[in-house]
Copies of this chain bind each other. A is one copy, B any other.
């Protein structure tokens, strides 16, 4: 079951400048940085609010670290903006993805990969989801 908006993924050209914008303009100060070599991005997770399922909703700011990363190509085409949205699961993310695939939506990974904050993630094809690149997130156990 999908129990929250886990995050909104926003692609940017300059991670430090974009984090500073969100901090200074809106006051979002709870920031966690990491690099995801597999995805070819560096990123910042800005916590926005707690959620009713005991987790939280974040903004995920992502900057490519390689010109051949998927996000680099997306930015070259679209410019800065919302890249994807992510829903959090209350159970195993692969089980959730299997249930969604059975309804005719293409799942982009054969098996879950590592996401932000130690999560397990997969993605759904935007052409099967009314134009929205959609991520599923199983958060790390505390």
Contacts and interface: CB of A to CB of B under 8 A. Distances in A.
Interface of A: 1-5, 8, 10, 12, 18, 21, 24-28, 48-53, 57, 79-82, 85, 87, 100, 103, 105, 126, 129-132
Contacts of A26: 2, 87, 100
Contacts of A25: 100, 103, 105, 129
A130 B49 CA distance: 21
Given A53-B49, A57-B5, A81 B126 contact: yes
A125 to B, nearest CB: 12
B82 A132 contact: yes
Identical subunits present: 2
Contacts of A100: 25-26
Contacts of A18: 130
Contact of A85 (B21, B52, B82): B82
A85 B48 CA distance: 13
A102 B93 CA distance: 43
A85 B129 CA distance: 18
Contacts of A81: 126, 130-132
Contact of A5 (B8, B131, B132): B8
B131 A79 contact: yes
Contacts of A132: 10, 80-82
